[in-house]
Amino acid sequence: MDETYRLKALDQLAAMRMLVKAMLLLRFLRKYDPNQPRAPAGQPDGGRWVNWARPSKVAGPYNEANRAKCETLYEQDTFQCSFVASARSRQACFEQAMVRHTDCMKGLPIPGLIYYLGQR
């Protein structure tokens, strides 16, 4: 029984070491990208680098006729995002809100705003 316990403990330790090494590798591979978009000024995360779900759709012609409708949508989305408890989930929610705003301004189909409120 003691040998089984020792082997399980060694297996778990090896798994944790592998996880730490994988995290260090990911950290190493994450590099500065000057092409990564920033959140627009005046927004909660204005000026900060953001991870866009679809970076290829950031640039492109906006339909200015949609501006009022899209700005209202964005304000509603960011209001909802402000209630998300987890900072990571809140950031993801704000990023989705910006993608929705961009798609709205381009006249593209607007994806759903998916978030988890969690506990405060």
Tally of domains within the chain: 2
Separation between Cα atoms, residue 8 and residue 3, nearest integer Å: 9
| Cβ(82)–Cβ(113) below 8 Å | no
Task: State whether 75 and 26 are in the same domain.
Answer: no
| CA–CA gap between residue 2 and residue 57 (Å, rounded) | 58
Judge if 44 and 24 occupy the same domain.
no
- Tell me how far the alpha carbon of residue 4 is from its chain's centroid: 42
- pLDDT at residue 54, as a whole number: 45
At 46-58, the pLDDT tens digits run 777 776 544 444 4
pLDDT digits (tens, 9 = 90+) for 56-71: 444 567 888 999 999 9
Does one domain contain both 27 and 41? no
pLDDT in tens, 69-106: 999 999 999 999 888 888 888 888 898 999 999 999 99
Domain range for residue 108? 36-120
pTM, whole model, 2 decimals?
A: 0.50
